[in-house]
Amino acid sequence: MIRRFLSDSLNSSSLQTVELVSGRALIWLIAGFVLLLIPQWDRLPIWLVASCAVLAGWRWLAQSGRVRLPGRWMRTGIMLILVAVYIATVQGRFTVDTAASFFVLAVGLKWLETRSTRDFYVLFFILVYLATVNFLFHQEIHWSVINIAGVALLLIGLQVVNAPDIPGAMKKGWRRLGLMLVKTLPIVVLLFVFFPRMSPLWSVPLVSGEARTGISDTMTPGDISSLAQSSERAFRVTFGGELPAYRDRYWRGLILDRLDGDTWQQGFGKPFRRLGRVDVDGGVGPLGPDQYDVLLEPTDQTWAFALADSRAVSNNVRQTNEDLFRFDRPADSSIRYRMELVRKPPTEGASAEPDNLQRYLQLPQSGNPRARAFGQQLAGEHDNPQAVVQRLLTRFREQAYFYTLRPPAMPVDGIDSLLFDEKRGFCAHYAGAMTFVLRAAGIPARVVVGYQGGSPGADNEYLIVRQYDAHAWVEAWFPGQGWVRVDPTAAIAPERIEFGLREAVAEEGSFLENDWASPQRYGDLAVLQWASLQLDKINYHWQRWVVGYQGQSQMNLMSRLPGGIGMRELGYITAGIVGAALLLAGLVTAWQYRRVESRHPIGRLVNRWYRLCDRAGVPVRHGETPAQLAFRLAQAKPAAAGTATAFARLINKHYYGRDSETGHHGELAKMKRLLATMKRQADRPSTSSSKG
Amino acid sequence: MLKAFRSRWQRWVNQRIPRADQRVFGQRSIFILPTGAGVVFTGLLLIMLITGINYQNSLIYLLTFLLGAVVVAAMHQTHRNLSGLELTLIQAGDGFAGDTIPFRLRAVSPRHDALAISLFCDDSQLEHQHVPAGQQHDMTLAIPSYQRGYLQPDRIRVETRFPFGLFKAWSWLRPVRSGIVYPNPLASPEVTSTVQDGEEQSKARSTDGNDHADIRPWREGDLSQRVQWKRYARTGEMVITDWEGEQGSPHWLDYEAFRGVGRELRLGYLAHQVMERARNNSRFGLNLPGQVIEPDTGAAHANRCLKALAIFGLEQPREGAPLPHGTRSDEVGHRSPKPSVVGEGRV
């Protein structure tokens, strides 16, 4: 009830009815919309982008009067059509992606309805939330800049809608907004640091329907070679100590131990996916000499990549019994985790129980007869598995096997044709073939998939591992030694292991041959490399320190401050910051107001005159005109009659005169003189007036 | 309860903002509240914060804090936009009832631009006025009038929502001066003399307590019925008793000419006649009970007459008299049967 009263009585402007929003404001909103769509470009269907462009363009043309906005029926028609197309494309999949595109669709449709200021605000709110949604998908610094710039455009639009015909709106608007941001930046930073990073209030998996570039949990020959055409980042690593040599950078991801036809798979069923999200940060603090920090790009998988003989330090990864590392939940955003190298491997072959080992001897019932025979032959010729492996590696090294990104098609008995006929293949081919032969020879073996290598980022601060570093190799089990890494690629193309893919396929010229936009493709352009690495460095620090500033990092940072600051204290601090900011704003307002008052010199003079009158026994009455007051003063102090009248006339002239008559500095000086004289006159003739 | 609260609120505001034709808006007198959009935006920020918490997304936190800070800065800006603004009512206009009465206002903002200032008074508004720093900006607020008399706007609301429309800061100017609203001119039915007998009339007159009788020589145009025939018979002088503005006289417009007609209607007739005469540029005088305006011609004269008609029987809203807070002129016991101020009791 009281609220209604307030809105009634305080809002006498409620009579402002539907008024068409100004075109100048609208163009800012459209510009903001376009900017905010850019980060969505790779996840929005093309028809949606096109329709949004058409709808926004339509709205704009309607503003300038060239076309008319559709009527209600047509609007409903357009809406139905677009929603139908949407439903047809989505096909019942509900992911954050489809939700985001529905959101964009809603914005697009809203354009046709935006007529009044109220619609304008609705659109503004939706677009601000669109910026928020964008942050879910892209956190790199350039996307962040685009997002915030989009929001800034919206805020400019808001200024224009509130003052449509303001002179010099654009420049002043930007200046005003910039000043606001600069002034409030300290508060924002403090809030960002101290706002308690609570754990999620409820579980919200960020399920994305988008197929991410990255290794998958099955391996068919050819898979990794398509990955080799991508220069997208897989993860970045900072080492506390020195970098391991290139040839030792084997990042183990997952193990494929079941061969099914041509395809290698994980033997166990897919792990149960718990709903919810994984901690995205792996703590702060200096890295120990054996420690390394991995900042993984989102994979939508639970795999963490780690060097062999590592141990988890941060608590967002855990170790499996295959010495792999897993997150509890899929990595739907960048995740940082911290690992430590264990110099002395724990007791060898601890996990080598016979029943477990049987799994690593599994082969399909049929197929690849020559490779089977070859394996059995090798087993017969050598009595220990090490010798079999050596024999195989020697064969790869000495015979004319080629490492190529353009392997021939080997549809039937692929392993046979690779080993004995074509002899051209990629790491996945060789790893699969070698595992097959070893198993045929009775040696437990498995395919390991992950990355190998990684190139240094700017200033050698960290390693960048890209998708084209994806690799597959073999682990064989030797009694007494446990699992030992064996890499057939190292035998066939040692430069792949020593220097990377670029060198390995340099002759072939197939490095990133389809990815013409990637800076990595143009390795010989030093400037381009440098710029790309610098950008990556900025982004790396952005991701580590800003994007990844979450629960554990915050707690670690707080633990370095004096006084045990926990969640509760952070809450108090946040409240304190907000309170202090508001108080400060109030104080600034008060101070500015005082300054404003002092900027009314005439007003101050008038006040002084009032005080003079008061002393002279002529208290000022409310609403009295200066002339009336002067008249009464003249009656009380006849000596001051002339000056008082003149003073009153000047006041009137100042306040009610024409523009041309006011604003002279001389006027002020004259009034000051008059007041001084009047003061003397009023003081002096107090005797004379009592006489008279 | 609502009504009580409301009147308390009004009393408080009136106390805080005494009547004055000039006001410098400062902390004491500026009120600020979020607009509907501001409330929704705050809700949106909350939703964004929850999104940030649930997705553990630092950048959403950052955006939320950034926009939150912008909201606070906007509040500050909106307040500042109005603060220091000096608004003066430099002229209260006049016009006929039913028309809009122009009120000239002058705004000066000494230090910073005051942008997108809107003025509201009842149903009239003036939007998006920009007052550049250090310059004078004159504007005219047209306030509708409903009945003749003094038009003293109770409150002229000065409001700004700049820059983002998320907050509105407002204050009031409670002017002392009042505009003058002339009676709505009404064409009177053809007046034939109601005077049948001079004696009777004079009797009637004296009971009214009016003794502004004039005896003047007959001049052309005087109706023969009005000649004091008795006196003529006695003295041979053809004289006419000229009760002020005696009807039928082409030069005088008389309040008493419309017998049996209500006061407001009479004033309307008279206003019409004044307008007629002024249009024809003919010479006329106005006779009102208690006030006589000698015959004259010209626009100034017509205005004077109209003004006299407008305020006839009304007391000027007391200028700056220490009105009890929140009391309206009629509550004090104004003689006017109806309040002369439009928008009674509205904020």
Which among A531, A550, A584 is the end of a domain?
Answer: A531
CA dist A356 → A436, B145, B343 (Å): 18, 97, 91
Task: Kindly state whether residues B258 and B113 are assigned to the same domain.
Answer: no
Q: Is B239 on the interface with A (CB under 8 A)?
A: no
Q: Is A364 on the interface with B (CB under 8 A)?
A: no
> For residues A294 and A462, is the Cβ–Cβ distance under 8 A?
no
Task: Kindly state whether residues A519 and A618 are assigned to the same domain.
Answer: no
Q: Is A202 on the interface with B (CB under 8 A)?
A: yes
Domain of B212 in residue numbering reads as 198-310
Instruction: Read off the pLDDT of each residue in B153-171 and give the average, rounded to a whole number.
Output: 90
What is the reported pLDDT for A279? 59
- Residues of B with Cβ-Cβ distance to A202 under 8 angstroms: 54
pLDDT above 50 for A443:
yes
Lowest mean pLDDT among A211-220, A284-293, A294-303, A637-646: A211-220
Task: Kindly state whether residues B45 and B165 are assigned to the same domain.
Answer: yes
What is the reported pLDDT for A169? 65
Task: Kindly state whether residues B33 and B139 are assigned to the same domain.
Answer: yes
What is the rounded average pLDDT for all residues in chain A?
Answer: 81
What pTM, to 2 d.p., does this model score?
0.75
Confidence of residue B250 (pLDDT cuts 50, 70, 90): low
Per DSSP, A507 falls in state T
Instruction: Read off the pLDDT of each residue in A136-141 and give the average, rounded to a whole number.
Output: 86
Q: In what order do the strands lie in the sheet with A218-219?
A: A218-219, A263-265, A258-260
Instruction: Confirm whether A97 is domain-assigned.
Output: yes
Confidence of residue A203 (pLDDT cuts 50, 70, 90): low
- Residues of A with Cβ-Cβ distance to B2 under 8 angstroms: 1-2, 5
| Out of A164, A582, A590, closest to residue B72 by CB | A582
Task: Kindly state whether residues A370 and A481 are assigned to the same domain.
Answer: yes
What is the reported pLDDT for B211? 45
Instruction: Confirm whether B70 is domain-assigned.
Output: yes
Which among A132, A164, A196 is the end of a domain?
Answer: A164
- Residues of A with Cβ-Cβ distance to B9 under 8 angstroms: 9
Biggest CA pair distance of chain B? 114
8 Å CB contact of B106 and A655? yes
Task: Kindly state whether residues B137 and B239 are assigned to the same domain.
Answer: no
For B264-286, what is each residue's pLDDT tens digit? 888 888 888 888 888 888 888 88
* CA triple B186-B190-B191, angle to 5 deg: 105
Task: Kindly state whether residues B258 and B130 are assigned to the same domain.
Answer: no
8 Å CB contact of A159 and B118? no
Residues 126-185 of B with CB under 8 A from A: 127-128, 130, 136, 138, 157, 159, 161-165, 170, 176
Task: Kindly state whether residues B205 and B268 are assigned to the same domain.
Answer: yes
Task: Kindly state whether residues B155 and B29 are assigned to the same domain.
Answer: yes
> For residues B181 and B151, is the Cβ–Cβ distance under 8 A?
yes
Task: Kindly state whether residues A278 and A410 are assigned to the same domain.
Answer: yes
Instruction: Confirm whether A630 is domain-assigned.
Output: yes
pLDDT above 70 for A496:
yes
> For residues A573 and A565, is the Cβ–Cβ distance under 8 A?
yes
Domain of A457 in residue numbering reads as 218-531
ipTM above threshold 0.85: no
Task: Kindly state whether residues A157 and A224 are assigned to the same domain.
Answer: no
Q: Is B66 on the interface with A (CB under 8 A)?
A: yes
Distance from CA of A60 to the nearest CA of B (A): 22
Confidence of residue B327 (pLDDT cuts 50, 70, 90): very low
Distance from CA of A117 to the nearest CA of B (A): 10
Q: Where are the alpha helices (DSSP H) in B99-195?
A: none
The total of structural domains in chain B comes to: 2
What is the reported pLDDT for A436? 92
Between helix A665-683 and helix A601-615 the angle, nearest 10°, is: 10
Confidence of residue B331 (pLDDT cuts 50, 70, 90): very low
Task: Kindly state whether residues B104 and B58 are assigned to the same domain.
Answer: yes
| 3-state DSSP of A631-686 | HHHHHHCHHHHHHHHHHHHHHHHHHHCCHHHCCCHHHHHHHHHHHHHHHHHHHCCH
What is the reported pLDDT for B324? 37
> For residues A338 and A281, is the Cβ–Cβ distance under 8 A?
no
Residues of A with a catalytic annotation lie at 427, 471, 487
Q: Is A574 exposed, middle or buried (0-12, 13-18, 19+ CB in 10 A)?
A: middle
Q: Which helix (H) or strand (E) holds A265?
A: strand A263-265
Distance from CA of B298 to the nearest CA of A (A): 26
Distance from CA of B101 to the nearest CA of A (A): 19
Task: Kindly state whether residues A387 and A505 are assigned to the same domain.
Answer: yes
The total of structural domains in chain A comes to: 3
Q: Is A190 on the interface with B (CB under 8 A)?
A: no
